[in-house]
Amino acid sequence: MKVAIAYLTVIMVWSTTPLGLALSSESVHPSMAGFLRMVIALVLGAVILLVWRIKLPLHSAALKLYAYSSVGLFGGMFSSYLAAAYISTGMMSLAFGMSPIVTGIIAYKLLDEPKMSVSQLVAIAISVVGLAIVFSDTLNLAADAWKGILLISVGVLSFSYSAVLIKTVQITIHPASTMVGSMLIATPLYLMTWFIMDGTLPVETME
């Protein structure tokens, strides 16, 4: 039952993430939207650590884990925020449907893991085709859609690469600690990116 709940939760989160990225960037610059999202998540994560008295390790292995995790949290998510201005949420969902294949290839190269079986590749192919059918009405490409495709490709690659790098760190740590630690690295990066790319605070459009 727990596995089923976790599986359904992951599906709900990832199926609505592209839409959330697009909606949150409508009134503010994508860099500001990402920064605000990180701040809110960081505060909530810190509260969880305090309430449940979960330790936040700061030794070298933990810091390496946080850094690897932030590759996806910043590089992957920020690229997705930028891509939302050029392509539809359906196209973004379809791109992320390819992430298991990308992750498998990177894991095979970096971790010497076995190649994906035929059944696994068939299952992924069916999933991608299913996504394409579901979002077929929103897959129309504009003239500058290549920018969005390039950005979302960087996003998928960042998420997949981050997932593989995390496996290289031999450490036992609470998932909440990993989440907060990675956001401690990603949040300043979002702040710096917002300052460089935009630097404005459009209070009027945020109301």
| 52-88 residue pLDDT tens | 999 999 999 999 999 999 999 999 999 999 998 888 8
43 in a domain, yes or no? yes
6 in a domain, yes or no? no
39 in a domain, yes or no? yes
84 in a domain, yes or no? yes
* CA pseudo-torsion sign 106, 118, 2, 40: positive
5 in a domain, yes or no? no
41 in a domain, yes or no? yes
The pLDDT of residue 56: 96
15 in a domain, yes or no? no
pTM over 0.85: no
The pLDDT of residue 116: 75
| CB 80 within 8 Å of CB 154 | no
pLDDT tens per residue across span 79-129: 999 998 888 877 887 788 788 888 888 888 888 777 778 887 787 778 777
The structural domain count of the chain equals 1
Q: Which domain holds residue 39?
A: 31-200
